Amino acid sequence: MISLTARWVVVDIEGTLTPTSQVHVTLYDYARPRLGPWIDEHADDAVVADAVAQIRSLGGLSESATTDELVAVLHGWMDADQKIAPLKTLQGLIWQRGYAVGDLTAEFFPDVAKRLREWHAAGLTLAVFSSGSVPGQIAFFSRTTDGDLRDLFTAHFDTVNAGPKREAPSYKAIASALRAVPEETVFLSDVPAELHAAAEAGWQTVGLARPGEPFADADFSPHPAVDSLTDVEIS
């Protein structure tokens, strides 16, 4: 059991709240065949047009690139699990629709919903920092096997409104947006490099080394690590 004193709790999603397979299999497989149709059907949407321009630029495609060429770049990024902003934007829009129409339901590790509700009821301010886009995150928490959890969170951060997850300035930006005291803020993640960045920003950190997850056997030092939120006590 780890006991901390903090007022702000910021959580990662993949590998921390939900199994990696929920993202890499369930959500990625849902997005893959829908990316092309979404780009074509929402070509006039400014958010989609901006994402397409970024894909062309980052993917080295010409102005006349076809939707199939754009999708090939997006699939390549997904296959390599590169969490690149325009991909996360389009995925988030597709998942938002998927949760709204009832195609998708988010599943958490069994300890998660209870612990988040307890921390919220105890007066802690909860926020999310994930590579998933903010609209995608909000949709994810709207329809879960534990009900609608959106009210638990005061704020959502992604790589667009905060910055890269492995860089300390992103955590400084989040603390500033939350008006949080860094030393009274804790970040929970399954990725040691993210914990290093949060600690560099003056935050407290807890690693989630969940059995069977990609980082289960990683070296989390100097951060304390647990395999369940049940083992994290915050007062």
Ligand X SMILES: CSCCC(=O)C(=O)COP(=O)(O)O
Site residues, ligand X (CB under 6 A): 12-15, 23, 27, 83, 88, 95, 130-132, 136-137, 140, 165
Contact partner, 132, from ligand X, Mg ion, none, Cβ < 5-8 Å per class: ligand X
Name the token pair of 166: 């492995």
Contact partner, 137, from Mg ion, ligand X, none, Cβ < 5-8 Å per class: ligand X
Q: Which of 197, 205, 206 is nearest to 168 (CA)?
A: 197
Site for Mg ion in 127-146 (CB under 5 A): none
E strand spans, the chain: 2-4, 8-11, 125-129, 153-157, 185-189, 204-208, 225-226, 232-234
Q: Which of 18, 136, 29 is nearest to 75 (CA)?
A: 29
Name the token pair of 97: 């629709």
6, 10, 11, 14: which one contacts Mg ion (CB under 5 A)?
14
Query: What phi, psi does 208 have (nearest 5°)?
Result: -110, 105
- ∠ at Cα 126 (31, 209), nearest 5°? 65
C-beta closer to ligand X: residue 164 or 183: 164
CB of 153 to ligand X, least distance (A): 12
Q: Check residue 15 for interaction with Mg ion (CB under 5 A).
A: yes
CB of 139 to Mg ion, least distance (A): 18
Q: Check residue 190 for interaction with Mg ion (CB under 5 A).
A: yes
C-beta closer to ligand X: residue 65 or 161: 161
CB of 83 to ligand X, least distance (A): 5
- Per DSSP, what are the bridge partners of residue 9? 126, 186
Residues that bind Mg ion (CB under 5 A): 12, 14-15, 190
